[in-house]
Chains A and B, each alone.
Chain A
Amino acid sequence: MKRADFPFLGFGAGLRRPHYSYIVEHRPKIDWFEVVSENFMVAGGRAIEVLEEVRAHYPIVLHGVSMSLGSTDPLNRDYLNNLRELAKRFDPAWISDHLCWTGVGGRNLHDLLPLPYTEEALSHVVKRIRQVQDTLERPMLIENVSSYMAFADSTMPEWQFISEIAEQADCGILLDINNIFVSAFNHRFDPNEYLDAIPVERVGQYHLAGHSDHVTHLLDTHDHPVRDEVWTLYERAVRRFGAVSAIVEWDDNIPEFPVLIETADRARQIYDAVARNPSQQSLDANSPERSAKLPVPADHRA
């Protein structure tokens, strides 16, 4: 894997059904789209028509939710073949999925479940990512998930687990900044320590999204604007990882598309400001906490 396998596409958005008509009719000014692979693994119809139109005017990447890299079930060969065919047809800049398991015993939970951070899980996932990359004939990115459970058997922190996997499987990392923040609160770790441990050359993409606060825990609901603390963490990531493509995800309470453009533009402004002033500590002009330290999740409710 080379950093060039995941070229800098700029600042984009997740392609979602409520925005199909707007995007097709207005061709909004946004750099690129991330597409949920499974939504387009269909024979035809509206989704395919829209994707053809979008692809004709924007770069896209395919982002899956059901590869189930961490499952102990065999890899789903039909799924991988469908994904390969989809990639041949739409020529995405890259393909990504999550570092998680989504089902077992032939059943699908349609959720992104965390793995125990053990040597057994690590070698299991590494082997499967290699198989996937061989099938897809390209390197892939793996994304850190938000989690609400941690396991007694874990022998290493999440950032070490994902970094080791990326190194051993020779794949890239899709850093979901909101997921780091959510998991940091839920499991009481320092999100800065997470970012600082990720190998720079492995990071190929960012996700930015909102979450909901349930007092005892944060939920990765993608139904709110990106929180200021997440923007602050994003700025830190930009300083560390440099020119990395970013998208905004919004999956519930989805606003009009221009709100996503504004959010992507805010990510661009932060990136531009960091590029201009790499030594300045905090440059997010829109953030009321621009000079505040990053929150430590353990103190969040203090």
Chain B
Amino acid sequence: MPTRLKDLQSFLYRLITAPSGVGEGLAAERNLPRTGLGAIVLGDERLSAEERADIYANMYFYRLLDALKEDFPATLKVLGDDAFHNLATGYLLEYPPTEPSVAECGRFLSRYLREHDLHDRHQHDRAPGDDAPYLADLAGLERATVEVFQGPDADALSADAMRAIPAEQWPSLKLRLHPCVQVLDVEWHVADLLRAVEEGRDWQPAARGAAKILVSRQRTRVLYRELEQIEYRAIDVARTGATFANICELIAQDAGDLDEDAGALDPVAELNRLLARWLSDAIFTV
């Protein structure tokens, strides 16, 4: 009686994704014929049925490991090869790929690191991130750079585009965040670590501290940096559909409020500085 195609595929899936290889997967199977895998997969004197299935198991894991290494170079650098390998093994068990593109396989790595950091503290066990509690934020930033890199296109508001708009229309101009832009809420200063790894410099562990990281794209180049509070508030307002006049008003107010010890900031200089940066970094569209 031939094995139904659906059963065959489910069976092979379990074998190929078994974390310690096909042998372990076979040991867990309850309905395997007495003649073993050889009753289903043909083996010969060169390669047994199990060795043939193992070829697929190895290709499955190492293809995904390579994809994760490519998208998370800083996480890899912090953990080292062996710990990253173990991280990938655990991660793929909990978050096996479901999307057609292999580039999506790392979509939940940051979530996994966050969940396991919490889980393992309860268990008094060691987790990949125990020596680097900032890993979930770091992986989150690395994933965001991937998403922004392939995010939606839109005409960015540049200095030239702004000049082409009649000045009398500026106050009512609605600035919208470019659709590829992301703002990350992090608990660790991970942007410097990622930059150091990308530039091939020595990296330092991330320091603790809440921050907002802006991830944007200047044509095809991904940019990321921590936002100053005044800039974050302006961008946050822009997300709700505020006008240019609203944003100017907010910056003027914040510049007066923010730095009381050092004296109020010059609102004109602040507006000038921030606007120049936004136009250069392609943060907004209209």
Q: Which A residues have a C-beta under 8 Å from some C-beta of B? A: 38-39, 41-49, 66, 70-72, 76, 79, 101, 103-111, 113, 115-116, 118, 120-121, 124, 148-153, 188, 216-217, 219
Contact = CB atoms under 8 A, between A and B. Distances in A.
A45 B159 CA distance: 21
B71 to A, nearest CB: 13
Contacts of A42: 150
Contacts, number: 132
B40 A152 contact: yes
Given A39-B101, A45-B220, A79-B100, A110 B63 contact: yes
Interface in B138-154: 148-154
B41 interface: yes
A96 to B, nearest CB: 15
Contacts of A48: 153
Interface string B48-75: 0101110110011001100000000000
B8 A116 contact: yes
Top-9 shortest CB links A-B: A44-B153, A66-B100, A42-B150, A46-B220, A43-B152, A72-B6, A153-B2, A104-B9, A38-B101
Contacts of A49: 219-220
Contacts of B8: 116, 151, 153
Interface stretch (B11-19, B107-115, B197-205, B234-242): B11-19
B149 A110 contact: no
A44 B101 contact: no
B165 interface: no
A149 B17 contact: no
B56, B64, B101 pick with most chain A CB within 10 angstroms:
B101
A149 B52 contact: yes
Interface in B54-102: 55-56, 59-60, 63-64, 96-102
Contact of A105 (B10, B55, B101): B10
Contacts of B42: 149-152
A234 to B, nearest CB: 25
Given A45-B220, A110-B102, A118 B13 contact: no
B9 A217 contact: no
27 contacts: A38-B103, A39-B101, A43-B150, A43-B152, A44-B150, A44-B180, A45-B150, A45-B153, A45-B180, A72-B6, A101-B9, A103-B13, A104-B6, A105-B10, A107-B17, A109-B60, A111-B59, A118-B5, A150-B42, A151-B40, A152-B40, A152-B42, A153-B2, A216-B51, A217-B46, A217-B47, A219-B55
B124 interface: no
A287 B270 CA distance: 70
B217 to A, nearest CB: 7
Nearest to B54: A148
B63 to A, nearest CB: 6
A148 B13 contact: no
B2 A116 contact: yes
Contacts of A116: 2-3, 5, 8
B105 interface: yes
Nearest to B99: A108
B273 interface: no
Contact of A148 (B2, B39, B56, B102): B56
A47 B150 CA distance: 7
Contacts of A108: 96-100
Contacts of B101: 38-39, 41, 66
Contacts of B100: 38, 41, 66, 76, 79, 108
B4 interface: yes
A48 B151 CA distance: 10
A152 B60 contact: no
A111 B41 contact: no
B2 A118 contact: yes
Given A43-B151, A153-B2, A107 B13 contact: yes
A111 B9 CA distance: 13
B91 to A, nearest CB: 14
Given A49-B220, A152-B41, A109 B13 contact: yes
Nearest to B33: A152
Contacts of B56: 109, 111, 113, 148-149
B17, B40, B100 pick with most chain A CB within 10 angstroms:
B100
Interface in B10-31: 10, 12-13, 16-17
B99 A124 contact: no
Nearest to B11: A104
Contacts of B64: 110
B46 A216 contact: yes
Contacts of A152: 38-42
